[in-house]
């Protein structure tokens, strides 16, 4: 069974840090592109970061640029999202998703429809 599992969420104070993990089972993340998304209460899902299948390209939303870093360790079949300088507005459920196609290149999906495998999400709460 193809599955993505996010972990690493929790409660953190403003200015704090967390590292989220996205681990695959039943398939190999390499060479799928991986996206990170979040949904805050009362808001639509937002794409915040992506990494290409070969790890050579990354993308960040303006809201997280300079604070979040995406990386992948294909030996561990895991993609990470390092988050620093967290703000209350970062509070959301965070999801990872793998591209439907194993692009295996520097391509970053431009549409959410290009992602076909989703995790269940992990809650991040930034509050004092």
SS3 31: coil
Percent of the chain at pLDDT above 70? 100
Please give the pLDDT value at position 104. 81
pLDDT tens-digit profile of 88-125?
A: 999 999 999 999 999 888 999 999 999 999 999 999 99
- Please count the other Cβ atoms lying within 10 Å of the Cβ belonging to residue 127: 10
How does pLDDT run across 36-94, given as a tens digit for each residue? 999 999 999 999 999 999 999 999 999 999 999 999 999 999 999 999 999 999 999 99
Length of the chain: 128
Question: Distance (Å, rounded) from C-alpha 59 to C-alpha 12?
Answer: 25
């Amino acid at each position: 069974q193809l599955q993505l599992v996010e972990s690493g969420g929790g409660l953190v104070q403003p200015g704090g840090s967390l590292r989220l993990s996205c681990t695959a089972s039943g398939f190999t993340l390499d060479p799928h592109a991986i996206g990170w998304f979040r949904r805050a209460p009362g808001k639509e899902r937002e794409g915040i970061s992506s990494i290409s299948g070969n790890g050579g390209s990354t993308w960040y939303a303006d809201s997280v640029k300079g604070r979040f870093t995406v990386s992948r360790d294909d030996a561990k079949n895991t993609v990470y999202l390092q988050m620093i300088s967290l703000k209350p507005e970062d509070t959301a459920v965070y999801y990872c998703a793998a591209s439907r196609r194993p692009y295996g290149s520097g391509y970053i999906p431009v549409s959410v429809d290009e992602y076909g495998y989703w995790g269940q999400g992990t809650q991040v709460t930034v509050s004092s």
